[in-house]
Amino acid sequence: MTQRALTSGRPSARMRVGHHRALVRTPGGLRLRSVPTPTPGPGELLLAPEIAGVCGTDLQILRGLRADPAAVLGHEGVARVVAVGPTSDAATPRVGERVLVDPTHPGDDTFLLGHNVAGLWAERVLVPASAVRDGLVVRAPDPGPATPAGPDHDAAVVAALAEPLSSVLEGHRVASAASVGTPSTLVVWGGGVIGRLAVRWWRHRHPGLRVLQVHRPGEPPLLPEPGTLALRADDRDLTEVLVGLSGPVTAVVATPRTASLGAVAALVGLCRASLTIDLHAGLPAGPVRWQGVEDAVDLAALRSRNRAGRPAEPVARTLTRRGAAPVTFVGHRGVAPATLQRAAHVVSGDPTAWSDLVTHHVPLDDAARAIRAVVDGDRCVDGRPVLKLALRISR
């Protein structure tokens, strides 16, 4: 594996000093390899990841469902700055500071951390100058002492939830802006960590909100979020429940890409109340049409129009439905750096409120085995269902 593949995808003549360990994608699967450590060039940063999360998109890449080229994955987590390139300005984080990297650049498609640029599943990661210059590296709160945040891990591990929570915060922002009013009912379609974070955040912002959470058939038998009605997508009662919902209804679609259109079709076809759908999940490209709806819409393109917190007034699309109230679609890709920083402060401010979602954490030496168990199996590691798997890379 070349250093070019392990950094930014572009050739570099910079000096390389020493080696570090990284989880590298190979034709035979993930392997823990020793790779050259780059010296940061002008405007670049070299980081030492501390905690990194495993996301559903990472699993899709490893299963061959996405063509993202990065040799090292990982876009969720927290790191320390270990080297700063020359010509950096005063706003650049300094050596020793704890930081988060916003994985999505608002205007540069060549930077998508852990997708087309080497990610956080490594002892060192180079952040290119464009991401540093445009503010994608933000200071993270210090976790303080290693205080218990749950039965199995300390507060530092909860940093793996900052990036997925930031996406939930952005979803709340765009859906609230697009909705015709404050929802009386929230439908969260998806029982993974994003779905559970969405339930908790929306209920925090809207006390008294009725919540229906729809789990995929065959999902691990985890306890439902307290105070919610939890049904599986193949439950015989789900149709009646959706038809009977009173509005306004906001729905968060937080499923794997392969299940997203089915979830949207069920919501559009069955929920007759005023409906806003936050397209949180990935979607196949191309126009989609439903019976009884006035027009087709390219949901993937619509979702992409709200990128990294821009525009301030999110782009949405409202369609009329025969025999039902209108449905409004909105979504987003990526968040603004300030939103990522806010999410980090939320999870670090009260780690016990979130720590149960990090069901597993493993050292880097054991990461390949644990990730393979999730990719190849039934989302269980060491006999326990996984919500969030965190990798403890360094302290």
Give the pLDDT score at 144. Answer: 59
290, 375: one domain: no
176, 125: one domain: no
Rounded to the nearest 10°, the torsion over CA 6, 16, 37, 102 is -60
Give the pLDDT score at 379. Answer: 78
Q: Is residue 342 part of a domain?
A: no
Question: Structurally, how many domains does the chain consist of?
Answer: 2
Q: Which helix (H) or strand (E) holds 79?
A: strand 77-84
End residue of a domain, out of 331, 347, 379: 331
53, 110: one domain: yes
Q: Is residue 181 part of a domain?
A: yes
Q: Is residue 287 part of a domain?
A: yes
Residue 283 structural domain: 164-331
Q: What is the 3-state secondary structure (H, E, C) of the chain?
A: CCHHHHCCCCCCCCCEEEEEEEEEEECCEEEEEEEEEECCCCCCEEEEEEEEEECHHHHHHHCCCCCCCCCCCCCCEEEEEEEECCCCCCCCCCCCCEEEECCECCCCCCCEECCCECCCCECCEEECHHHHHCCCEEECCCCCCCCECCCCCEHHHHHHHHHHHHHHHHHHHHHHHHCCCCCCEEEEECCCHHHHHHHHHHHHHCCCCEEEEEECCCCCCCCCCCCCEEEECCCCCHHHHHHCCCCCEEEEECCCHHHHHHHHHHHHHHCCCCEEEEECCCCCCCCECCCCECCCECHHHHHHCCECCECCCCCCEEEEECCEEEEEEEECECCCHHHHHHHHHHHHHCHHHCHHHCCEEEEHHHHHHHHHHHHHCCCEECCEECCCEEEECCC
194, 45: one domain: no
246, 319: one domain: yes
Give the pLDDT score at 377. Answer: 76
Helix, strand, coil shares of the chain as percentages rounded to 5? 30, 30, 45
129, 197: one domain: no
Q: From first to last of the 395 residues of the chain, give the pLDDT tens digit.
A: 333 333 333 333 343 459 999 999 999 999 999 999 999 999 999 999 999 999 999 999 999 989 999 999 999 999 999 999 998 788 899 999 999 999 999 999 999 999 999 999 999 999 999 999 999 999 999 875 555 545 455 678 999 999 999 999 999 999 999 998 899 999 999 999 999 999 999 999 999 999 999 998 876 556 788 899 999 999 999 999 999 999 899 999 999 888 999 999 999 999 999 999 999 988 999 999 999 998 999 999 999 999 999 999 999 999 999 999 999 999 999 999 999 999 999 999 999 999 999 999 999 999 999 999 999 877 789 888 899 999 999 86
CATH number of the domain that residue 88 is part of: 3.90.180.10
220, 270: one domain: yes
183, 262: one domain: yes
Give the pLDDT score at 61. Answer: 95
257, 210: one domain: yes
End residue of a domain, out of 331, 347, 369: 331
CATH number of the domain that residue 216 is part of: 3.40.50
80, 192: one domain: no
170, 131: one domain: no
168, 317: one domain: yes
Q: Is residue 339 part of a domain?
A: no
Q: Is residue 154 part of a domain?
A: no
Only one residue has tokens 């008294």, namely 208
Q: Is residue 158 part of a domain?
A: no
Give the pLDDT score at 14. Answer: 41
Q: Is residue 122 part of a domain?
A: yes
Rounded to whole angstroms, the Cα distance separating 204 from 201 reads 5
Q: Is residue 289 part of a domain?
A: yes
